[in-house]
Structure 1
Amino acid sequence: MQQFAARGVHGQTVEVLAQRILTGQLPEGHTLDLIALQSEFDVSLTVLREALRVLAAKGMVDARPKRGTFVRPRAAWSLLDPDVLRWQFARSQRPGLFDDLHELRAIVEPGAASLAAARATDDDLAALDAALRDMAAAGDDASAAVAADLAFHRALLAATHNELVQRMEVVIETGLAERDRMVHGAAGPNDPVPSHKAVVEAIRRRNPTQAARAMGKLLDQAIEDVARLERTQHENRQD
């Protein structure tokens, strides 16, 4: 479990068990052998049970008398929990997950841009402008580019001044972070600044229709970036 060393024993145990559940190594209905896991992870039974309580709170496992602790079906998982989202995007490799993200963003973000055009304050515009500056300054620094993109989308949702829309940050930001890491970690994504700047300028002009349209174009570019990355990966596998 060296890859999770920085998380501490308890965190390591939670992460490894979650990864095994998400990848199907521990399938739905599987009963966990706590003694075997305790020996494998070299942790106390107390640490193991604490880790399982975390996963139980997220709907991933449950414990019943005479049956023990078992993996619950995916339908029972707290899919909007930040950790569950992060685990899914980072490790599950579930087909269609990024498609789900694109569809969600297409539903939420153009509407958010439209609301922002009607409601954004000077502070909101300043936050969006700051994210654009950071995006332009990031250059080939993938980590800086990811941070700037997340800051932009966080500021966009905040500019709606709708608490429920702002709560979508948990889903969008978690998935977007993993998507950005893939795209910016590969060679040659399109320059993101012009498409993001178009959204901000429409918001600044207080034009909801143009803001929504600009966000739609931005999302089209995001889909193309992922598609191009997938084509490159496929070509490399063919070679």
Structure 2
Amino acid sequence: MARSSHLIVEEPVAQLGRNLTYGLLDTIGRAIVTGKYENAVFPTEAELASIHGVSRSVTREAVKMLTAKGLLSARPRQGTTVQPTSSWNLFDTDVLRWMLERKLSVDLLRQFNELRVAVEPEAAALAAQVASEEDIKRIDEGLQRMVAAERGLDDPLEADIAFHVAVLRASKNPFYIQLREIVSTALRTSIRFTNRIKGRTADVSEHSKVRTAIASRDVEAARIAMRRIIGDVLVLIEEREPEAE
């Protein structure tokens, strides 16, 4: 009985520790990315613990995670230093989210969509060759959510993301599939930005062409249809109004 009671007590404590660590990770990570420590000495673990009111163990774990993401470097006798942007892991969803949340992130949005246009049309073309019925069903579900979103019955952003992630999964290519988290993360910002310019949600008819081409096993049509969707996004970004930034 004593052992069971001990386990019940420990679980919320461990959860609290994780929440504090991730909270500190988010706070410091965003501060680094937005330039708070530019031309400044990065605080020691003891100073961070004092500033944020957390334990040294929580601070140490957060710093370790930021180091793994490429934002920090910790070396003996040199202390902890902020790394240049070129060292950051842009395929880490936290790093990308912090970067996209920065003011004037339009250039990064353009660069991200340049990556998309190199990946997603080819993923759609592969999907037209290898997608299973289950894959096509997931693509259909994403498309149906987009239709529902137009009637105010679903979230337009989440519906659009579900469609694009379903196409990546349908490619059966593990490298494309592993991009689904970064695509989801960046699309949350990209879609909000382009929708704000257009004043409307994604074009369901254009997405439907991708679905039809994949289901029809038309490789080139799938590639072209997906390229058109992302190409339109790039055009919107390039033609943005100055205040859109």
Normalised to the residue count of structure 1, the TM-score between the two structures is 0.84
Match of 2:193? 182
Separation in 2, partners of 1:38, 1:203: 53
Match for residue 233 of structure 1? Answer: 243
Q: Flag the 1:186–1:11 CA change in 2: closer, same or farther, 3 A.
A: farther
Segment of structure 1 superposing worse, 55-64 or 87-96: 87-96
* Pair 215,46 (structure 1): closer, same or farther in 2 beyond 3 Å: same
Residue 185 of structure 1, CA deviation: 6.0
**Aligned match of 2:231 in 205, 220, 231?**
220
Structure 2 match to 1:14: 25
Q: Could you tell me whether the CA contact under 8 Å between 2:149 and 2:155 is conserved in 1? A: yes
Aligned to 1:67: 78
Residue by residue over 1:97-150, the C-alpha shift from the partner in whole angstroms, topping out at 9 and shown as x without a partner, is 111111101111111111111111111111111111100101275971111111
SS in 2 for 1:96: helix
The verdict on how the C-alpha distance between 1:28 and 1:142 changes in structure 2, with shifts beyond 3 A counting, is: farther
For structure 2, the 5+ residue unaligned runs are 1-17
Residue number in structure 1 paired with 2:8: none
Question: Structure 1 residues 28, 108: closer, same or farther in 2, change over 3 A?
Answer: farther
Q: CA RMSD in A?
A: 2.7
Query: How many percent of aligned residue pairs carry the same amino acid?
Result: 32
User: What runs of 5+ residues in structure 1 fail to find an aligned partner?
Assistant: 1-6
Contact kept in structure 2, 1:112 and 1:165, CA below 8 Å: yes
Other-structure match for 2:160: 149
User: In structure 2, what residue type is equivalent to 1:111?
Assistant: E
Matches within 5 A, 1:123-142: 123-139=134-150, 141=152
1:164 aligns with 2:157: no
Correspondence for 1:97 = 108
The secondary structure found in structure 1 opposite 2:199 is: coil
Does the aligned pair in 2 maintain the 1:112–1:160 contact within 8 Å? yes
Q: Which residue of 2 aligns with 1:199?
A: 210
User: For residues 100-115 of structure 1, what are the structure 2 equivalents within 5 Å?
Assistant: 100-115=111-126
> Residues 50 and 141 from structure 1, CA distance in 2 versus in 1: closer, same or farther, beyond 3 angstroms?
farther
Would you say 1:43 and 2:42 are equivalent positions?
A: no
Would you say the 8 A contact 2:110–2:237 is kept in 1?
Answer: no
1:38 Cα deviation from its structure 2 partner: 2.6
1:82 is displaced (CA, Å) by 2.1
Decide whether the 8 Å contact of 1:131 with 1:149 is kept in 2: yes
The normalised TM-score by structure 2 is 0.82
Structure 1 residue 46 displacement after superposition: 2.2
User: 2: distance between equivalents of 1:128 and 1:65?
Assistant: 51
Superposed displacement of residue 17, structure 1? 0.8
CA 1:145 to 1:31, structure 2 compared with 1: closer, same or farther past 3 Å? same
Query: Which amino acid counterpart does residue 85 of structure 2 have in structure 1?
Result: R
Q: Which moved more, 1:26-35 or 1:189-198?
A: 26-35
In the comparison of the two structures, how many residue pairs are matched?
229
